[in-house]
Chain A
């Protein structure tokens, strides 16, 4: 009976994986059908006006060639994404379905949802292919559209921390000295990257770096499945369970909450339940800058980078790490989004974000109900395979100009 149970679960996992890959391929084909047009044969004239579109998007449009070919603005076509005539016409039903998938991932595994949201923006909805089409004909438009994709990714990731931060603020679970150092660094990173890279990164470059990041996430997930990685997790779990059995509820506990004991630029100390935790505010600041810079550049990554950083930097208790990291993610993402919109003047398609959020909250209601049928280990295997596929595809397309996988 046990053997058949294993086979049933394996078949279910395989089916989910096959469906996910087929799903991605089908949706990509549907979204990109309208992109196939003939190349123009003669030198086209420029659009010459911003077509009522704001900021850098309008400026880039005015300098783009007008025409019906690839990499041209078809002035006679109806408005598509970002209000651009001839732009990808979002299939909102497709967007909701993909977002349900993203919401499902958020509520089962967690971090990988941001990556799938990015894949949706870049590949499934056709934005990536559209941005790429302007690489040679209108490089400024290519880069502005890349900024819009990056900003769209960040809305979805940044909003994930809003509710958590409010709750932790209410419960007073933030280590303020550590939080402030981290927050200042996060804001600095989130302002610096849009200023430095806004309007300067081509879609190919962005796609290549995104693919590399997805590889790293996949490698991390893979490590957790190796005997060494699994052994570490198992040992931690066993130790926690053993301690739980041994501890009595009326154990010695000292003064409550987090108290700043000493503040210095290179060494600060806070106490928590009678124990001292030292940290270097400069390192907290630097960590905030680096993590916020990565997540601002890619549009993903803040959510799961802060916690291990705080744990390794300070060895801080999770009572404190949880709220502090949620606040850092929220501040860095809000700052980054505001910077991309005001400094880099990235255009936004609000309707797409709204529709995606509908799909995400639907997916987040489905996830808990399906979780009992798919073990964690197999979920991780599914996402490792997806991470490998997405990572290879984006890395090769971005840095080598051609995807190594279909």
Chain B
């Protein structure tokens, strides 16, 4: 038995729970999607922990340049505004591509699940009520994935490892939003400035 056959024998058990073919397809696909969500969360948390310092540095540079360009705007200093904007855009470009690691870490299980479903359920179409359309394995899996993501989002605050990761991510997001709010608060209380020439 090779690796694929072993994985296949494990995953197909998800589709043999109730004994009713249609129910098993719904339930099995949802469970498969749920497993994809959990595994993705595990790997994204790993990438986050390992790359956090590097991303903090990139974020700090982006935010600093953003604040400086806003300052320059309000002081009417066109040249400084352009210079800070250019530096900021370059820093943003690096951050943008670095975040790809997060997306990859979160989403890779989806594609392996789809690869397996393509082998097993490629010919199956679920008929939709009142219309003559059918949805294939891809569409149905994506719908289940969205549902699984929402469900797991509520559950993870109660699960030991994921609770810690959730709190870490929450602190990280609040720190980013706080630095944004500080910039905006200063803006709200200051007198109006001249626009750049």
A residues engaging B (CB < 8 A)? 52, 54, 83, 103, 106-107, 109-111, 113, 159-164, 167, 170-171, 235-240, 242-244, 247, 249-257, 272-276, 303-304, 307-308, 311, 315, 317-319, 321-322, 326, 349-351, 353-355, 357-358, 360-361, 363-365, 367-368
Q: Looking at the complex, which one of B85, B96, B184 makes contact with A256 (CB distance below 8 Å)? A: B184
Is the pair A322, B108 in contact by a Cβ cutoff of 8 Å? no
Q: Nearest CB to that of B173 among chain A residues?
A: A170
Q: Looking at the complex, which one of A111, A240, A255 makes contact with B187 (CB distance below 8 Å)? A: A255
Q: Which residues of B contact A319 (CB under 8 A)?
A: 66, 69-70
Q: How many A-B residue pairs have CB under 8 A?
A: 229
**Shortest distance from the beta carbon of A59 to any chain B beta carbon, whole Å:** 16
Is the pair B97, A350 in contact by a Cβ cutoff of 8 Å? no
Q: Does any Cβ of A come within 8 Å of B162's Cβ?
A: no
Q: Which residues of B contact A252 (CB under 8 A)?
A: 74-75, 190-193
Is the pair A307, B74 in contact by a Cβ cutoff of 8 Å? no
Q: Does any Cβ of A come within 8 Å of B109's Cβ?
A: yes
Is the pair B89, A321 in contact by a Cβ cutoff of 8 Å? yes
Q: Which residues of B contact A249 (CB under 8 A)?
A: 186
Q: Nearest CB to that of B57 among chain A residues?
A: A368
Among B16-24, B43-51, B127-135, the one that faces the other chain is B43-51
Is the pair B193, A253 in contact by a Cβ cutoff of 8 Å? yes
Q: Looking at the complex, which one of B73, B97, B111, B191 makes contact with A272 (CB distance below 8 Å)? A: B73
Among B27-35, B151-159, B175-183, the one that faces the other chain is B175-183
Classify the interface of chain B: helix, strand, loop or mixed: helix
Q: Does any Cβ of A come within 8 Å of B37's Cβ?
A: no
Q: Does any Cβ of A come within 8 Å of B171's Cβ?
A: no
Most B CB within 10 A of own CB, among A83, A113, A162, A163: A163
Is the pair A240, B65 in contact by a Cβ cutoff of 8 Å? yes
**Bound state CA distance, A113 and B104, in angstroms?**
13
Q: Can you give 30 A-B contacts (C-beta < 8 A)?
A: A52-B123, A163-B99, A163-B106, A171-B180, A236-B87, A237-B83, A238-B83, A239-B80, A239-B82, A240-B84, A242-B80, A243-B72, A244-B84, A252-B74, A252-B190, A253-B74, A253-B187, A254-B187, A256-B185, A257-B184, A272-B73, A274-B193, A275-B73, A307-B93, A318-B88, A355-B108, A355-B112, A357-B108, A361-B104, A363-B101
